[in-house]
Structure 1
Amino acid sequence: MIKPFVFALTAVHLLSSAALADIAVTHAQGETVLKAVPQTVMVTDWAAFDDLTSLGVPVAGVPGSAPPGYLAAKVTDDMTRIGSLQEPDVEAIAAAGPDLVIIGARSRKSYATLSQLVPVIDVSVDNGAVIDGAKANLTMLGKVFGREEQAETLKASLDAKVAQAKAAAAGKGTALVIVTNGGKIGVYGPKSRVSWLYNTLDVPSVFDTVDDRDHGGDAITFEYLLKTNPDWLFVVDRDAGVGTGGASAQKLLDNDLIHQTNFWKNDRVVYLDPAASYVTMNGYGALMLLLDQVTDAFSTK
C-alpha cells in the first residue's frame, strides 16, 4: 500500500512544479520571465487587446483612447484606463500591480520604465512582415496563457483568409495603398502598416520607390495618382482612424483629377476600415476584417 501512496505524492509534486514553472518569453525588446500564467493583464495597445480577446484572455486595463469600432463591444466599464497609446499612465499601472503589461509599437519607449515595475512584453511587429508578425504574437500569447490550441486555430483561420484574398487578387491588375491625413495624401509601400497587400497577396504596385517611415505615408499629389493610374486604389483614412475629424477621404478624392483615373472610372476605390488599417493593423481581428474587405473588393468589382 505504501508504493501507490508515494507515487501519488510524486505525481502531485510533479504537477505542482509544472504549474509553477517559469515561462520565458522572447519578445521585441528581449526576454521576460513570468513565474506563472498571468491572471491580471493590462495592455497599452489595441492590437494586443484584439489578440487577447480573440484568444479568450480577460483584460483588466486598456488604453484611455476610444477603441476601434469592431472592438468597442469587448471593452467594459470595469476595465482600468491606463493612459494614451503613446504615453501609458505609469502610476496607474504601478498602483494596479498587474501580473503582466503588454505594450506595442506606439508605447514601446515605455518599456524601460515599466519593466522596472512589472513584467512587460512588447508585441511590436515589423511592418515589412505584418502577417508573420501577427502569427508570431498569437503563438507567443498562446504559450503565455496556456492557450496554444486556440492560437493554432486562429493562425489557421488567418492563413485561410490570406489564401482566399490572394486568390481573389490574382490577375486583377495593379494597386496602390494611400493614406489621407489632414487634407494631404501619401502612399504606403512594402514596409508600411498594410504592406501585406503587396508582400503577401502579391498585388503588383505602380511605384518605383517609397519612403515608409512617416505615419502619413510618402507624400504624393493627385497628379501622381493620375500619372501612375493604378487599376485599384486602397485608402486608409487616418483622420477617421484616430478620431481627429476633418475632411473625409471620400470628399478629398472626389475631384476632377481623380475622376480621370482608371480606378475611379471603374469604381475600384476601396476604403479600408480606418481603425483596423491604421490603429490595430497587426491585430488578429483587424487583419481578418481587412482581408475580408480586400477579398470582397477583388471578387465583386
Structure 2
Amino acid sequence: MFSRLRRGSAVAAAILAAGLTLTACSTTSDDEKSASGEKITVATNTGDVEVTTDPERVVVLDNTAAETVKAFGITPVAIPKQLFQTDQLKDWTENDDIKDVGTHNEPKFDVVEDVEPDLIIGGYRFSKYNDDLKKVADAAGASYIDIAADDKAEGGRVAAMIRQTEILGKIFNKQDEAEKIISDFQGKLDAAKGVASGQSVFLSVVSGGKIDNGAKRISPLTAPLNVKDVFGGAGGDLHQNSGLTPEAIAQANPDWVFVMDRDAAVKPENGEQAKPAQQVFAAQEAFKGTTFADKNQIVYLDPQFYLREGIQCYGDNYQAIADAMGKK
C-alpha cells in the first residue's frame, strides 16, 4: 500500500529524531517556530498530537470539518470529492488542482502520498484508516489528526463539534473566525431549544424511496432538544431496511417528524431519479389523520445533511426546527 513513499531512510531518521525532540515539549515557545508556523499540541480522538500551525498543504478527509476549513479561506491539496458533493464545497470539488482521494470505501492512499501534505485531517468516515493514514503522514513528515465529532464524546456531538472548531481555529490561526462560527451555531441551537418543549417526534430517513427510522443518524442532532422520540431512540442502519411500516409510524402518531432525505444527497445505485422526501410522505395514505400530517408538522432537514454533518449543517437544521416549531 505504501510502496510509493518517496522519503529515504536518511530523511525518515531525521524526521524521527526531530519528532523525539519535539514531543518532549508540551507547550509552545519562541524557539519552536518552523517555516510555516509554530508547534502546538492538540487533543484528538487518538490522543495528543503535535501540529505545526498554518500548514500549507492540507488533505481534508473529514466532511464534518470541511466547511470550517473552507470558511478559514484554506484550499486543500486533496479531498474525497465524491463525499464532498455539496453546494457548500462546490468550489473544491470542481477545482482540478485539488486531487481526489477516492471514498472511504475505496481510498486512494497513493494520492495522499503524492500531494506531500503538511497536515491530514482524517476521522469520521475515514476513521477505520487512522493507522494507515498516520503511516502516510509520518513518512511525509506531516501530522495526522482525527478530531471528528464523536456522538459518544463528553458532552455529546454538539460539544465535540465546538471543540473541533476551536482546535481548527488554533491550527490555522483563525481563532476569531472559529469563535464567530461557534457563536452563530450557538444562537441557532438556542433558538431550537426555545421552541422544543417536550413534543413527540419521529426521526425519519427517506432512502431508496422508502420511509424508515433515521434515529441512528438524527438523534445526535436532537439530543440537546427537549423532544421525545416515539421509538425511544432505537434506529437501524441507514443502509438496510428495518421493516418499519407507514402504519406503525401512524400508530405511534408523533406530534412532529424530522426528515433526512438521504436520496437527495446520494444518487440511487440503480441510476433512477429519486422522489423527493416530500412526495414520498405525501403519498402515504396511512398518514391521513395523524397529528403531524394534519397539522403539517414535518421538518425536512437540509437535503445535504447526510454528506455535511458539521457544525454549520447542524446550525442550519436547528434554525429550520426553530422556524417550523416557532410558527405553531
Superposed displacement of residue 25, structure 1: 2.4
- Give the corresponding residue for 2:205: 179
* Between 74-83 and 133-142, the greater mean CA deviation after superposition: 74-83
Distance 1:270 1:104 in 2: 29
Distance 2:89 2:70 in 1: 9
Alignment of 1:34-113 (within 5 A): 34-65=51-82, 67-73=85-91, 75-77=93-95, 78-113=97-132
Distance 2:208 2:74 in 1: 37
Gaps of 5+ in 2: 1-28, 138-142
Matched-pair contact (CA < 8 Å) for 1:42–1:100: yes
Superposed displacement of residue 286, structure 1: 1.0
Aligned to 1:201, which of 225, 231, 242? Answer: 225
- Give the corresponding residue for 1:250: 278
AA matched with 1:38: P
Q: Is structure 2 residue 268 aligned with structure 1 residue 265?
A: no
Q: Is structure 2 residue 269 aligned with structure 1 residue 241?
A: no
Compared with structure 1, are the counterparts of its residues 115 and 214 closer, same or farther at alpha carbon in structure 2 (3 Å cutoff)?
A: same
Give SS of 2:260's match.
strand
Compared with structure 1, are the counterparts of its residues 219 and 198 closer, same or farther at alpha carbon in structure 2 (3 Å cutoff)?
A: farther
Aligned to 2:252, which of 228, 231, 236? Answer: 228
Distance 1:29 1:94 in 2: 21
- Normalization by structure 1: what TM-score? 0.84
Give SS of 2:293's match.
helix
Gaps of 5+ in 1: 1-13
Aligned to 1:159, which of 169, 183, 186? Answer: 186
Matched-pair contact (CA < 8 Å) for 2:44–2:146: yes
Matched-pair contact (CA < 8 Å) for 1:82–1:88: yes
AA matched with 2:295: N
Distance 1:98 1:268 in 2: 47
Give SS of 2:285's match.
coil
Aligned residues: 283
Give SS of 2:179's match.
helix
- Normalization by structure 2: what TM-score? 0.78
Matched-pair contact (CA < 8 Å) for 2:257–2:297: yes
Superposed displacement of residue 75, structure 1: 4.5
RMSD: 2.4
Percent identity, aligned pairs only? 27
Compared with structure 1, are the counterparts of its residues 141 and 237 closer, same or farther at alpha carbon in structure 2 (3 Å cutoff)?
A: same
Matched-pair contact (CA < 8 Å) for 2:78–2:115: no
Distance 2:315 2:233 in 1: 28
Superposed displacement of residue 247, structure 1: 3.3
Superposed displacement of residue 73, structure 1: 4.2
AA matched with 1:176: F
Matched-pair contact (CA < 8 Å) for 2:267–2:274: no
Give SS of 1:251's match.
helix
